Amino acid sequence: MTVIFEKPGPENTEQVLKTACERAKELGINEVVVASTKGVTAYKALDIFNGFNITVVTYHCGFKEPFKSVMPEKVKTDLKKKGATVVSATHALSGVERSLAKRFSGIYPVLIIADTLRLFGQGTKVAIEVSIMASDSGALSGSDIISIGGTGRGADTALVLKPANQSDLFEMRIREIICKPRDF
């Protein structure tokens, strides 16, 4: 049964992580991907997904300030020390198209895919995007995963996915929506 939250946002984080962890155990999934900007959701995921293979995906360097990491380097180091894999890479569902859109306006297929996924909520788009980034970094085995995203901060969406690399996006399967917000 999908858990539907009335509102998007970080207040749903704990319930997302706990519900997703229960479902992962039922399905025998042991790989989890989680979006985290500053590390808040990543630390909570590390607490709850005990014994899982956790990949934390951050914003790309330069997202806020040129060449600067949004997640402090000391947080990345600490998350790795606690057993997580940390991935900071080009965003799979915007990439260079963001530069084209800024310079030329117009219509760009990857940005259309992103906005179409946002019809399910920001968190769904993010969960899919970070799963691609984790796949391309070599962090995943290719087995089904739990992927978690949110709206600005925290987590409000969890999916069960058959992951795929960016070059095989249409091989991805969204198997289950564990939770998502109703309104966004």
Ligand X SMILES: Cc1cc2nc3c(=O)[nH]c(=O)nc-3n(C[C@H](O)[C@H](O)[C@H](O)COP(=O)(O)O)c2cc1C
Please give the residue ranges that form the binding site for ligand X (CB under 6 A): 35-42, 57-59, 91, 122-123, 125-126, 129-130, 149-154
Paired tokens of 168:
């095989």
- To ligand X, the closest distance from the beta carbon of 158 in angstroms equals 12
Identity of the amino acid at 98: R
For residue 156, the minimal CB distance to ligand X (Å) is 8
Question: 144-154 burial, b if ≥16 CB within 10 A, otherwise e?
Answer: bbbbbbbbeeb
Tokens 């290719």 correspond to what residue? 142
Q: Which is nearer to ligand X, 138 or 152 (CB)?
A: 152
Task: Output the CA angle 177-165-132, nearest 5 degrees.
Answer: 50
| Least separation in angstroms between CB 129 and ligand X | 6
Judged by CB, which is closer to ligand X: 41, or 53?
A: 41
| Contact between 124 and 180 (Cβ < 8 Å) | yes
Q: Closest separation between CB of residue 28 and ligand X, Å?
A: 26
Nearer to ligand X, 3 or 70 (CB): 70
33 backbone dihedrals φ, ψ, rounded to 5°:
-120, 135
Pairing mode, strands 153-162 and 145-151: antiparallel
Per DSSP, the three-state class of 178 is strand
Residue nearest to ligand X (CB): 150
Q: Read off φ and ψ for residue 182, nearest 5 degrees.
A: -75, -45
Identity of the residue, 26 or 73, whose beta carbon is nearer to ligand X in the bound complex: 73
| Shortest distance (Å) from residue 160 CB to ligand X | 17
Nearer to ligand X by C-beta: 154 or 163? 154
